Every structure is written in structure tokens, then in C-alpha cells.
Chain A
Amino acid sequence: AQTVTQSQPEMSVQEAETVTLSCTYDTSESDYYLFWYKQPPSRQMILVIRQEAYKQQNATENRFSVNFQKAAKSFSLKISDSQLGDAAMYFCAYHPAWSNNNDMRFGAGTRLTVKP
């Protein structure tokens, strides 16, 4: 079974600084997708960024980028120029590309605090 591990229950960052959230996963699949979701206090789950495992290039979405290390099964999220609105729970998630199952595996989450 695939598992997703987020080893940092809580992180904090100073406004305008950069922070990196860690995620590792365990899978025997070679083709899969990885996601980072953000859950602000409103509870709404929002997709932040997506990475296809077959792509070597790291995904980037404005201030959000990932460091995808396939051999190490690591998928960290970097937030640059942190803003107060970035404060939220962040969930890493895994989904196999070829599978009869359609369920996504989530990590336990990392709570990010942004200090003004």
C-alpha cells in the first residue's frame, strides 16, 4: 500500500521569508502523481500544485514550487516570499497513474504559521 509521510506537524515562517515543507511517500509504482493541498481556516481544501512523476522538471506555480526527488521518494513544497494568507494546513497527497483504484493517499498534514 502506498503511504504518505509528512514529518513536520508544525512549521513557522517569517513573512516574506521562504519555507520548505517535507513529504515522503512509499510506492512500488513507477508512474504516479503527487499533489500539495492547502487547507486554510475556512476548511476549504485547495489544490496548490501538482507533479507528474514522469516529468523531471519540478512544478512551479507562482511563489510555490516543489523539489521532486523520485529516487528518494521525496516531494517537498517550497513557499517563497511567504504571505500571511499562506497560513494553513498543507497536505501532501499521492495518486497512482495506472490503477483500478481511484483513491488518493494523504499525509497527516503540516500546519504552517506565518509571523508578521
Chain B
Amino acid sequence: DAGVIQSPRHEVTEMGQEVTLRCKPISGHNSLFWYRQTMMRGLELLIYFNNNVPIDDSGMPEDRFSAKMPNASFSTLKIQPSEPRDSAVYFCASSFRLAAGSNEQFFGPGTRLTVL
């Protein structure tokens, strides 16, 4: 298995531009998570999906952020318009959710976003 795939690995954009981050979870996994990591705030959960349905988006910082999961093998995190304070590493993770289980999360390599 290729693991969780994220693209792009690096993104540099200018303030005000739209940014779209992409994630392909591990095949067979039914939960997907978007995290943001910064030096100041550490690892923050932005949103997660179970069976393609958003369950908790309380971590999404503002309306400028939106996430979709149109099918079990693809998700996007969009920032529109982007701001310099959005600069961070964005991780996607997936897991196979059981009624009770370890629910270990497998992380992608991350996307380093720089907003100038």
C-alpha cells in the first residue's frame, strides 16, 4: 500500500489566492482527518470525516477554510482567500474506524504551505 498520499508537498502562494490541498487516504480506511501543524500551536485537528461525512469541523479556524470528501478515496482542504498566518504544514491522516478499537491513524507526508 502506498500509504496516505498528499499533494502538493510544497505550496507557495500569495496572500489572497485560493489554495487547494489534496489527500488520498489508504484504501479501505473509512475515517479521514485534516491537521495543521505550526511551531506556535503544535498539531491541531481541523476536521475529520467518517464514511465521507464531516463529523467535527470545530477546529476549522475560519470560514475561509473548507473541506470536502466527495468519495472514499479523495478529500480536499481549501483556503480561500489565503493569508500569511495560514502558513503551516497540513497533514492528512486516515484510519479504519471500529466500534471499539485502536483507531490508529496513518499520516501522509504533509503539505508545507507558505503564504507570502
Interface residues of A (CB under 8 A from B): 31, 33, 35, 37, 42-47, 50, 52, 91, 95, 97-98, 101-104, 106, 108-109
Contact = CB atoms under 8 A, between A and B. Distances in A.
B100 A98 contact: yes
B55 A47 contact: no
Interface stretch (B12-20, B68-76, B79-87, B91-99): B91-99
Contact of B102 (A46, A52, A103, A109): A52
Interface string B30-74: 010100000000110100101000011000000000000000000
Given A43-B109, A98-B99, 17 more contacts: A33-B102, A35-B104, A42-B109, A43-B110, A46-B107, A52-B102, A91-B43, A95-B102, A102-B48, A102-B50, A102-B55, A102-B97, A104-B33, A104-B45, A104-B103, A106-B43, A108-B42
A109 B43 contact: yes
Nearest to B97: A102
22 contacts: A43-B109, A43-B110, A43-B112, A44-B107, A44-B109, A44-B110, A45-B93, A46-B107, A50-B104, A95-B103, A97-B101, A101-B56, A102-B31, A102-B48, A102-B50, A102-B55, A104-B45, A104-B103, A104-B105, A106-B42, A109-B42, A109-B43
B5 interface: no
B23 interface: no
Given A43-B109, A45-B93, A45-B107, A103 B45 contact: yes
B25 to A, nearest CB: 13
Interface of B: 31, 33, 42-43, 45, 48, 50, 55-56, 89, 91, 93, 95, 97, 99-107, 109-110, 112
A77 B14 CA distance: 41
B42 A103 contact: no
Contacts of B106: 47
A108 B110 CA distance: 18
Nearest to A107: B42
Nearest to B91: A45
A31 B31 contact: no
Given A45-B91, A108-B42, A103 B33 contact: yes
